[in-house]
Chain A
Amino acid sequence: MKLPLDMLESSQLDSTLDHILRGHPDAFLSIVRAYGPGLRAWLSSQLFHQDEVDDLAQETFIAAYRSLHTFQRDQDFGAWLRGIARNKLLRHFEHIQRQASRMEQFRQEASAWLQDELDQRAAKTRREKLQLMLNCIRQLPERLRHVVRSHMEGNKAASLAEEMQTSTGAIYQLQYRALGLLRECMARKITHEH
């Protein structure tokens, strides 16, 4: 059973926007709740550090709130948000003026090629998918689960390999296996839900 409050169908979105524009800024939180997971996951695909992801997501929501009156109701609100985020991201890269390493260049170029694919997935991401993902992570064998969870804690492959007394290559293989199992598990659960 899906939660309608998490989905913000167009009629819900319209009434929420009307409510905000009539002077109820707290209603914007329901938009944050509905669109936050997809936006954060999308930014996560562009940035490595979760801190940067959450900061840029917040900046995006603030900018969206300030220019809410410019949003055309026949537009896709998620795509509009990601457009704002994309601009923020570009400015972020310019601001830090970092000299991109060869591997960072790969990521930036790869992200450009993957933009449409990642956009499509962001548009379909709802909050309930996060719960499904958590359930799937729980079902992973312990070593795979450890790799997936350690990634969250900022452990890079080399330090994780040292901790698990294995090679860096083996860690990447475990991660690859884990992601494969998570994809299958998510597909199963989503099919089952429907």
Chain B
Amino acid sequence: MNTDLQEALIAWQGGELPQSRTEALLIRLRDDTAFRAALAELIWTLCLSKVAQSPDPRWITLQEELGLHEAQEAVQNSRLEEALMAAVRREPQRFVSSSWRIATALAAAAAILLAGLLWLEKEPAASPQEVIAVLVPRDAEQPSRVVTMGQLHLAQGQARLLFTHGVVVDVEGPADLEICSLSRMICRQGRLRTQVPPGAEGFCVETPRGTVTDLGTVLGITVSGQGKTDVNVFEGQAELSASIPGQAGLRTVVLNEAEKASLGASPGLIGTSEVMDFLPSLQPVAPQLRLPADQRARILAAKPVHYWRMNRLVEGQVPNEVTAGPSLSLAGKVEIGSSARFWGQEAPGVIHSEKPWIAPSRGYALELWFMAETLDQTALLALTTPDPKRPHLGLIELGSRPPGQATGAGVLRYLVRWPAGHRDGMNLFSAAASALPYQWHHVVAQQARGRMELFLDGQPLGPAQSDAVPGDHPAIFQIGALEWRPDQELTQLRRPFCGQIAELAVYDRTLSVREIAEHARPLMGSSF
């Protein structure tokens, strides 16, 4: 059976067999059901392995048939660099249609023109469901962007990869990487530093000389142009593995904290490492929020009932720009500079109101700017009742996974609960990756008689109608955490935000689309 199966597979792939053998195999294929099933299983495994290893085709002709002409519009309407980058992102590895040859030519031109730019992404951008990570260039002038499965090349400079399940990989170029999945990447060259949080252990980096598996640690990995791999464990443990030439055996070594090793001095060997300059932790530079010089006057002209800019403290509190309006209090670690800076789980903090505001049933709007530094699920603004258990009336949060979606990376959520509570409610979700970290975003969440609207960067999402219409109700503001009670330990703070929040304005009416678009338009070059 095995010989027949093996030879049938060879013949099926076009391998040479004597005619008498192929005829005999065809007869057996015709007469032997079990043989047919076994061969089909083998062939299917082979086909599946081929499809699994090939990239999703872009199918430009199909896109044109469906009327999706993004690439062409980009060429006409956007800056040349952006258009060329769009073409590069759409480059499939194998495709032969004529329209594709045009895109390939554009990609080639882009490769030359963009040689001075930091990143070249070879693999096509994928749908939001396939977001694996977000790439944050260390230089604040370059925007962060979504990373899907595929190759990444860093010509020079430094960047941070934020994986959606919490793994952080810092990279220094020149680097030649391939993102394979949430738990695996290939590094053919480059300096990396991986940080793997609890729950994501097993993240592995394959190199030309072996595999480094992070067992919940902070690691430095340096892969030279020849593939030699040096590893340093800064914290925790890591496992190194190398295949032995000529056999199926796999040599493994576990490294403990402060230990170093080298893969590939000789093939299959794991030896000592002399490398000293492993990549240190790279903290991306947060971009500044640039708003018009008359921002305060513009917002006050819209008649908010509360307006906290978060850019100064008066007697230890965040002052209200509306005359006689209450200030906000701080608990835990929150730094007030040009905006309010929160530190997430590392040092939880929250800004909150002491006295309740009566949220009117006829409608209200909540407006703020934020810039996240993680992909975690974190709360931007919670509206609760003054009840000691702090049941929610409304919530704006980031990174919440919409039902049925694989990830909540870059998702903005607006939730209204009525009656106030902790469980049920009506939600509006943004598309995945629409609120990326290390980018400032403008949000307006508003509801009038249960009709909810959410605006992200001036673009409307929704509307939705909540199941019951909220009445007038006293509300406490909590900024940067899901819920906070005065008697609560700060370490117990849930979904603490990591990043910056600014310009919180509250209106006792809904804002018009025009007003929101006007407020969302930051003016470049103006100081905040």
Q: Which residues of A contact B (CB under 8 A)?
A: 3-5, 25-26, 28-29, 32-33, 36-37, 40-42, 44-45, 48, 50-51, 54-55, 57-58, 61-62, 65-66, 102-104, 106-107, 109-110, 113-114, 117-118, 121, 125, 129-131, 133-135, 137-138, 141-144, 148-149, 151-152, 157, 168, 172-173, 175-176, 179, 182-183, 186
Other-chain residue from B10, B49, B405 in contact with A133 (beta carbon distance below 8 A): B49
Closest chain A residue, CB of each to CB of B44: A121
Q: Report the Cα distance A61→B60, complex, angstroms.
A: 12
Task: Contact check, B404 vs A5: say whether CB atoms are below 8 A apart.
Answer: yes
Task: Contact check, A131 vs B181: say whether CB atoms are below 8 A apart.
Answer: yes
Is B76 in contact with chain A by the CB < 8 A criterion?
no
List the 8 closest A-B pairs by CB distance, nearest first: A117-B40, A142-B243, A141-B248, A133-B52, A44-B47, A25-B66, A130-B52, A54-B57
Instruction: Please choose the segment from B94-102, B277-285, B367-375 that sits at the chain A interface, where 4 or more of its residues have CB less than 8 A away.
Output: B94-102
**Chain B nearest Cβ from A158, distance in angstroms:** 9
Task: Contact check, B40 vs A4: say whether CB atoms are below 8 A apart.
Answer: no
Cross-chain pairs A/B with CB under 8 angstroms, 7 sampled: A25-B66, A51-B95, A57-B59, A117-B44, A135-B181, A137-B53, A175-B9
Instruction: Please choose the segment from B11-19, B161-169, B415-423 that sits at the chain A interface, where 4 or more of its residues have CB less than 8 A away.
Output: B11-19
- Determine which residue in B16, B25, B49, B127 has the highest number of CB atoms from chain A within 10 A of its CB, and name it: B49
- Determine which residue in A62, A134, A142, A144 has the highest number of CB atoms from chain B within 10 A of its CB, and name it: A142
Interface of B is mostly: helix
Other-chain residue from A58, A104, A176, A182 in contact with B97 (beta carbon distance below 8 A): A58
Q: Report the Cα distance A93→B180, complex, angstroms.
A: 35
Closest chain B residue, CB of each to CB of A149: B53
Q: Report the Cα distance A182→B43, complex, angstroms.
A: 12
Task: Contact check, A103 vs B14: say whether CB atoms are below 8 A apart.
Answer: yes
Closest chain B residue, CB of each to CB of A44: B47
B contact residues around A133 at 8 Å (CB) = 48-49, 52
Interface of A is mostly: helix
Other-chain residue from B26, B180, B248 in contact with A110 (beta carbon distance below 8 A): B26
With A130-B52, A135-B181, A138-B184 given, name 14 new contacts (CB 8 A).
A25-B66, A50-B94, A54-B57, A54-B59, A58-B62, A106-B22, A117-B41, A121-B41, A134-B53, A137-B52, A142-B243, A157-B15, A173-B6, A182-B49
A contact residues around B97 at 8 Å (CB) = 55, 58
The residues in B between 40 and 82 inclusive whose CB is less than 8 angstroms from any CB of A are 40-54, 56-57, 59, 61-62, 65-68
Q: Report the Cα distance A157→B14, complex, angstroms.
A: 10
Task: Contact check, A113 vs B51: say whether CB atoms are below 8 A apart.
Answer: no
**Chain B nearest Cβ from A156, distance in angstroms:** 8
A contact residues around B9 at 8 Å (CB) = 172, 175-176, 179
Is B39 in contact with chain A by the CB < 8 A criterion?
yes
Other-chain residue from B50, B181, B406 in contact with A3 (beta carbon distance below 8 A): B406
